[in-house]
Amino acid sequence: MTATKATDDSPRLIDAIERAETTSLEAVRKFLDTVNDSFPDLGQGEDGPRRKIIDAAFTMTENLVAASNRVAQNILDITEKTLDEADKDAKASTK
């Protein structure tokens, strides 16, 4: 992979990650809407099934966002390494 190729693909990759994250968050929002429609707040308290389901959905959302952030960080790290290696190769070939 050349430095130019890595740079050209970066915006597309970032866009794909953002779309995946947005899609995941929208799915969780729809899930919460379904829970709210199916389990109206009937004074079930903090330990009721509705609260447990909503808490689990928020935990799932946090996990999805964290995973997406790890993927983005890994991609950034790989891209930086690739560009650094390409720069070293370019400097070595001009000597």
In tens digits, the chain (95 residues) has pLDDT values of 454 555 566 678 778 878 888 888 888 888 888 887 887 766 656 677 778 888 888 888 888 888 888 888 888 888 889 989 988 888 888 86
Domain boundaries defined on the chain: 13-90
Tokens of 93: 């070939």
- Nearby residues of 2 by Cβ (< 8 Å), 6 or more positions away: 86
What's the pLDDT at 56?
A: 86
Sign of the CA dihedral with 35 first, then 41, 44, and 45 last:
positive
CB atoms within 10 A of CB 87: 11
43 torsion bin: left (phi>0), alpha (psi -120 to 50), beta (else): left
38 torsion bin: left (phi>0), alpha (psi -120 to 50), beta (else): alpha
